[in-house]
């Protein structure tokens, strides 16, 4: 965060405030970990803070300290609206456009609080008065760690906060294997462990609590994989009927898209997942090297994210969506084969 915005934030937080903390819709480990870590910090420093999530999040994240305090906008609507309406400050974490909060966007757009954005995605919008945006950071959780340090309170990071921050960094870096994992990321992780973060236990809680139905769903996804060697691309499709057959629960398809990149010679992996309720196919894009799925998603599928990890959507049916996707690949053949 630049010095001007940091000083402005310090001034804002110099006296007790009512604060709402907002993650994006369908929050993942980084969104939940960063909001919980910030919530602990703000409460411990004398503020009244609440986390309002646009909707529910996966069960494998609900062990984190303080997760039972998170308000679900869909289920606790009046209480959630009250928190936002009465807030002096609204922190938005792990997203940089109000469209990422779904049905909450209208109430946030009309809020009178001072907005503070903390995010590491590309091309931030300008809704926040105070912005901490760094696309080179591994995760929003790493940014929260840095922010607390910049506020002069690094020694205030508790074991509970350390576990939350560790979780977000671990999940957003693919267990520290993605290119955004820097030497400084590892130094942060080391300090979090010194402060009590239990890395082995966190990994177990995130990755080793599968249900039989989720593994069967994974088998279905892998069976559906299509490999396009000419374009160094692999994609997976999942219909609503397939999700229902294997008793899909929120978060069950997390990480499925990455299996395509485990294939030798594949640089671009995609998964198309039907959401019949919303009438769309949700799309996750992953890549290795310099091929920008952020640019691809923004240009063709109303999405965006990072260079090597992005999301998007399609309002067309599966056949039309796949036809559009595969027809685009010829435009990127040289990039994908380089």
pLDDT digits (tens, 9 = 90+) for 238-288: 999 999 999 999 999 999 999 999 999 999 999 999 999 999 999 999 999
Residue with tokens 């303080």: 66
96 pLDDT tier (thresholds 50, 70, 90): very high
Domain spans in the chain, listed from the N-terminal domain onward: 3-207, 212-337
What pLDDT, on a 0 to 100 scale, did the predictor assign at position 238?
97
pTM over 0.85: yes
Residue with tokens 């942060």: 188
Helices (H), the chain: 3-12, 29-44, 77-85, 105-109, 140-150, 159-172, 183-194, 199-207, 212-223, 240-245, 293-300, 318-329, 333-337
Closest CA to 258 of 211, 218, 314: 218
**If you average pLDDT over every residue of the chain, what do you get?**
96
What pLDDT, on a 0 to 100 scale, did the predictor assign at position 160?
98
Q: Is 153 left (phi over 0), alpha (psi -120 to 50) or beta?
A: alpha
Residue 279: burial class (beta carbons within 10 Å; 0-12, 13-18, 19+): exposed
DSSP letter, residue 136: T
269 close to 282: Cβ distance less than 8 angstroms: no
Closest CA to 170 of 151, 150, 145: 145
Work out the average pLDDT over 43-62.
97
pLDDT at 105 over 90: yes
94 close to 119: Cβ distance less than 8 angstroms: yes
pLDDT at 194 over 90: yes
Count, residues in the chain: 338
Structure tokens at 185: 């990321």
Work out the average pLDDT over 88-111.
96
Work out the average pLDDT over 229-238.
97
What phi and psi, each to the nearest 5 degrees, are found at residue 208?
Answer: -120, 35
Report how far residue 264's alpha carbon sits from residue 57's, in angstroms, rounded to the nearest whole number.
33
What pLDDT, on a 0 to 100 scale, did the predictor assign at position 242?
98
240 close to 275: Cβ distance less than 8 angstroms: yes
What pLDDT, on a 0 to 100 scale, did the predictor assign at position 187?
98
273 close to 236: Cβ distance less than 8 angstroms: no
Q: Chain centroid to CA 87: how far?
A: 24
Q: CATH for 3-207, among 1.10.3720.10, 3.40.50.620, 3.90.1640.10, 3.40.50.300?
A: 3.90.1640.10
Asked whether the domain spanning 212-337 has the same topology as the one spanning 3-207, the reply is: no
pLDDT at 130 over 90: yes
What pLDDT, on a 0 to 100 scale, did the predictor assign at position 338?
80
55 pLDDT tier (thresholds 50, 70, 90): very high
Report how far residue 205's alpha carbon sits from residue 196's, in angstroms, rounded to the nearest whole number.
16
297 pLDDT tier (thresholds 50, 70, 90): very high
Work out the average pLDDT over 308-336.
96
pLDDT at 151 over 90: yes
**Residues near 42 by beta carbon (within 8 Å), at least 6 away in sequence:** 13, 19, 21, 49
318 close to 239: Cβ distance less than 8 angstroms: yes
What pLDDT, on a 0 to 100 scale, did the predictor assign at position 3?
95
Report how far residue 168's alpha carbon sits from residue 141's, in angstroms, rounded to the nearest whole number.
5
pLDDT at 107 over 90: yes
What pLDDT, on a 0 to 100 scale, did the predictor assign at position 44?
97
CA atoms within 13 Å, Cβ hemisphere of 201: 9
Q: What is the CATH number of domain 212-337?
A: 3.10.310.30
**Residues near 5 by beta carbon (within 8 Å), at least 6 away in sequence:** 130, 131, 132
The Cα-based distances of 164 to 17, 115, 193, 197 in angstroms read 23, 23, 12, 8
Task: Give the Cβ contact number of residue 207 at 10 Å.
Answer: 14
């Amino acid at each position: 965060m630049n010095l001007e915005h940091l000083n402005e934030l310090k001034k804002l937080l110099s006296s007790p405030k009512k604060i709402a903390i907002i993650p994006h819709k369908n929050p993942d480990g980084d969104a939940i970990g960063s909001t919980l870590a910030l919530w602990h910090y703000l409460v411990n420093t004398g503020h009244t803070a609440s986390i309002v999530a646009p909707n529910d999040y996966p069960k494998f994240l609900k062990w984190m300290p303080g997760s039972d305090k998170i308000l679900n906008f869909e289920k606790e609507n009046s209480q959630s609206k009250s928190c936002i309406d009465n807030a002096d400050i609204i922190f938005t974490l792990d997203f940089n456009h109000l469209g990422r909060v779904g049905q909450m966007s209208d109430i946030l757009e009309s809020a009178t609080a001072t907005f503070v954005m903390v995010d590491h995605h590309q091309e931030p919008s300008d809704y926040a008065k105070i912005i901490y945006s760094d696309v080179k950071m591994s995760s929003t959780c790493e940014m929260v760690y840095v922010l607390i340090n910049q506020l002069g309170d690094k020694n205030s990071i508790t074991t509970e906060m350390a576990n939350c921050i560790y979780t977000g960094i671990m999940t957003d870096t693919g267990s520290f294997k993605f290119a955004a994992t820097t030497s400084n990321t590892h130094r942060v992780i080391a300090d979090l462990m010194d402060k009590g973060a239990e890395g082995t236990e966190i990994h177990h809680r995130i990755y080793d609590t599968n249900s039989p139905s989720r593994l069967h769903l994974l088998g279905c996804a892998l069976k559906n994989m299509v490999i396009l060697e000419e374009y160094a691309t692999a994609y997976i499709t999942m219909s609503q009927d397939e999700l229902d057959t294997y008793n899909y629960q929120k978060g069950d398809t997390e990480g499925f898209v990455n299996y395509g990149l485990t294939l030798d010679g594949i640089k671009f992996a995609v998964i198309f997942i039907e959401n019949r309720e919303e009438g769309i196919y949700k799309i996750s894009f992953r890549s290795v090297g310099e091929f920008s799925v952020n640019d691809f998603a923004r240009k063709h599928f109303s999405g965006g994210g990072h260079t090597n990890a992005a999301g998007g959507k399609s309002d067309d049916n599966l056949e039309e969506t796949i036809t559009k996707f595969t027809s685009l690949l010829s435009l990127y053949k040289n990039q994908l084969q380089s």
